[in-house]
Amino acid sequence: MDHLTIIKVGGKVLEDPVAAEQFLSAFERIKGLKVLVHGGGVTASKLQQELGQDAVLIDGRRITDEQALKAVTMVYAGLINKQVVARLNAGGYLKAVGITGVDGAFITAHQRPVGEIDYGFVGEIDDVDLGFLHTLLTHFFTPIVAPITATDKGQLLNTNADTIAQEIAIAAARKYETVLMYCFDLPGVMADINDPKSVIPHITPESYTKLKHDGKVAGGMIPKLDNAFKALEAGVFAVRICQAADIVTQGGTTVMMG
Amino acid sequence: MDHLTIIKVGGKVLEDPVAAEQFLSAFERIKGLKVLVHGGGVTASKLQQELGQDAVLIDGRRITDEQALKAVTMVYAGLINKQVVARLNAGGYLKAVGITGVDGAFITAHQRPVGEIDYGFVGEIDDVDLGFLHTLLTHFFTPIVAPITATDKGQLLNTNADTIAQEIAIAAARKYETVLMYCFDLPGVMADINDPKSVIPHITPESYTKLKHDGKVAGGMIPKLDNAFKALEAGVFAVRICQAADIVTQGGTTVMMG
């Protein structure tokens, strides 16, 4: 079974030129098959403001009306995706191909039902068809995925990049030994949020129960880790949570079943 | 030798919802392997205006400073490309994949040297590497190409879509029996610009000489036809110039060597 690394990198990393260059030059040196999933929320909000739109986010999710959908499609699939792809291809280590879930119709999604909040044109993923990604990987192209999907009727949808990375990883786990990495601006899961040296290097289901009981993981980290275990249960080999600089080291936190 | 159709469609067609739907539903019914190259200049100018930029075009070529480059990258590679791809994939006839020349680094370009006019970040094509397109076509994906390229240093460049279509056709002619089609808002090359019934169905090098001598082709049509013959001399099987509605008929003008 071939090894595949799927990396989600946050907009905050890619939108800072120094952090972006550090991340991308680490990314291109990762051995083996790999897929990058990126965001770009800060740039999208900035474009919305320049266009006189209000950028409204609730719990980090953007209220995506028709105008906001145009803005995120332009920023994610256009500007950021092509800047990243051009930079990676200039490096000479790999051949990057920028795509969205719309391309090859490899992700199908439906619009999130209206609950207490109407998020508008926001996607929830129904299915990941690995065929298109597999074709690219087999021919040594590195997919760079922007977080836009569409319904089977052709409606574009703004879709959470963390979820896209996770669903790609789960689908890929049937064909590849898959490692899913969340790369953000913290050094990993920390027992003390104020102490970067308190990174917990390994988390298993048993240690996770104890960490929660001891109050050493809390807040926003709990849904992240719950999702990590969901991915592991669905066949993903390991989930890593780390800083941009650590993607080629063994730094950060590795979540595994045992 | 497989048959390949490369179609360039103007922004004016795709930016009019009725004309766009007419064109795309004809496009999806074209038999055999095909590639679509699109523009989007009107939408790009509109975005520039909304962002408080002056959209400056000289002889139809956009003066592309850093801000204009961002706008065209967002509109061509983001908005229009993904709208077209989502629409085509919803049709169920084909699997469309939206790309630019940057993806798979399949087009390499350099920035146009500054002459009398400094066009800024505008690309001139050095090379088309057919490998990536061939991989997609071999796996029955239909490439939808937005007119953005990059240098080998990773600088994005705004690049003429007619030229991209022509250079792809010339590169493809080594592997495929290639027909290049320019699809725009006129019914073909007309002997009398005011009479849509005066379309000249076939043009050969001999008849072209006579048509020019008789003043029946003139103005903007001459560079188009000169480029068509350049493509034919480089191995392209035929060049067709027609309206959106005629891409699945034998309408319009066909330019061939004999």
Q: What are the sequence ranges of the domains in chain B?
A: 3-38+75-104+128-147+158-185
> Is it the case that residue B186 has pLDDT exceeding 90?
no
What integer pLDDT is reported at residue A84 of this predicted model? 98
Torsion of CA A123, A125, A131, A135, to 10 degrees: 50
* Strand-pair category, B123-128 with B107-111: antiparallel
What integer pLDDT is reported at residue A28 of this predicted model? 95
Instruction: Report the gap between the CA of B183 and the closest CA in chain A (Å).
Output: 23
Q: What is the ipTM of this complex?
A: 0.95
Structural class in CATH, domain B3-38+75-104+128-147+158-185: alpha beta
The phi, psi pair for A199, rounded to 5°, reads -60, 135
Contact A100/B82, CB-based, under 8 Å? yes
- Nearest alpha-carbon partner for B104 in A32, A38, A144: A144
Segment B142-159 mean pLDDT:
98
Residue to substitute from B48, B103, B127, interface A, most A β-carbons within 10 A:
B103
B179 in Cβ contact with B240 (< 8 Å): yes
Contact B102/A90, CB-based, under 8 Å? no
* DSSP code of residue B76: I
pLDDT interval class at B193 (50, 70, 90): confident
A189 in Cβ contact with A222 (< 8 Å): no
Enumerate the residues of chain B whose CB falls inside 8 A of the CB of residue A86: 102, 150, 154-156
Helices and strands in chain B, H and E counts: 9, 14
* DSSP code of residue A196: G
3-state SS, residue B207: helix
* Sequence-ordered list of residues with C-beta below 8 angstroms from that of B251, at least 6 positions apart, any chain: B187, B188, B199, B242, B243, B245
B76 in A contact zone (CB under 8 Å): yes
- Nearest alpha-carbon partner for A155 in A80, A64, A81, A82: A64
Contact B79/A74, CB-based, under 8 Å? yes
Instruction: Match 């291809």 to its residue by tokens.
Output: A89
> Is it the case that residue A196 has pLDDT exceeding 90?
no
> Is it the case that residue A221 has pLDDT exceeding 90?
no
Distance CA A99, CA B104 (A): 11
Structural class in CATH, domain A3-185: alpha beta
pLDDT interval class at A106 (50, 70, 90): very high
Give Cα separations from B248 to B32, B142, B183, B198, B244 (angstroms). Answer: 12, 17, 11, 20, 9
pLDDT interval class at B160 (50, 70, 90): very high
Residue to substitute from B74, B88, B138, interface A, most A β-carbons within 10 A:
B74
What integer pLDDT is reported at residue B98 of this predicted model? 98
Segment A158-168 mean pLDDT:
96
